[in-house]
Amino acid sequence: MGAGQEKKEKGEAASVLARMHTGQHIFSRFQESENVGLETVKINLGAEESAVYVRFGGEITWDSLFSAEDGTLSVIRADVPVEAATVPKAEAMNMSGLKAKWDRIKSDSIRVVSIGGAATACSGEHVGRTGEIGTFLVTGFNGSPPNWEVRFTVHEARRVECARAALRAARLMGCEASKLASVFDRMRADGAALSHTLDRAARYVSIPWDEASAGGRTVYYAVLPGLPKELVSAHARSQIAAHADSFCLALMPAPDASQFLLLRGADVPVDLSGFLKKSPALLARGGGRPDWLNGVTEQSSVAVWLEALGRAAP
């Protein structure tokens, strides 16, 4: 790479970070006005996506984030100037509405960045006018009171990607994109109701457990094509509770994704949490605890599972 090209790429990267940083300033102001008591703790700027970390004792919701996003976009469209000036600390402390973390400022002078009348003490790089930011999109958030993380980007391509993904999902769900959230909530409620129904139905189902040996331990196993895991799990727990020195394996083959349940009794000194990684022949992935695992597998041969358990058994 030539020196000229390298300089150009560094300049483009710096420009993206300046857009991210300026957008964050505007967004954080709107977030703080939407949520009384919210405090911006730190930011993490990236070339593709950035994050702002806040402290807030209440709940952050998509509605509040969308409102702050709309406010940020209105300032971007207004293309107002972004002004930076270095002022004496004593003078800055008397500036009305200036946002600053005074306990962290040791210098006698402060760089103040002003955007549409909102001033913040900041030494970072910013654009000259808000229109240069281009766009602003909240891409996600997570956390719980009082610590929250909000992710965002200034890339228009990401906005297009999200819009198209929503349209594809709406097509699959058979609804308008604006109704995706409510349709998903109904599906989740239906799923919870179905799970409850299966739990009640499980008492009327009898699982025909077969027996085999692996590493000197008894393995109770059953191959149950098409049976839902929720209908099997209660029986597997009861079986292993009655046979504390054994394993219990349920394989549920299906055309798309075969499921499995694997439990070990309380008297079996084996940590199952690393079992799948140590058994690549099982072609399985999943999770659980040291005493049980569940997930999906491409291996429906009981013999292969018994061989893997034989290696794991003490």
If you write DSSP's letter for every residue of 61-75 in order, what string do you get? Answer: -HHHHHHHHHHHHHH
> Among 258, 259, 257, 237, which Cα is nearest to 248's?
237
Distance CA 169, CA 179 (A): 11
**Cα–Cα distance, 219 to 248 (Å, whole number):** 6
Q: CB neighbours (10 Å) of residue 154?
A: 27
Element (H, E) at 162: helix 156-173
What are the tokens at 212?
């085999």
Model pTM? 0.64
Helix (H) or strand (E) holding 270: none
Single-letter code of the amino acid located at 267? D
- Residue 190 and residue 179: Cα distance in Å, rounded? 17
Interval 246-252 mean pLDDT: 96
d(CA 68, CA 250): 50
For the residues 28-33, what does the mean pLDDT come to? 92
Mean pLDDT of 302-309: 95
pLDDT value at residue 88: 86
- Give pLDDT, residue 80: 95
Residue 298: pLDDT band (50, 70, 90) is very high
Q: What is the CA radius of gyration of the chain?
A: 28
Pairing mode, if any, of strands 210-214 and 147-153? unpaired
Q: What average pLDDT does the chain have?
A: 89
Q: pLDDT-based confidence at 12, cuts 50/70/90?
A: low
CA dist 144 → 45, 69, 259 (Å)? 22, 20, 32
* Burial grade of 218 (CB within 10 A; 0-12, 13-18, 19 or more): middle
Determine the Cα–Cα distance for residues 69 and 50; give it in Å rounded to an integer: 14
Tokens representing 120?
């913040």
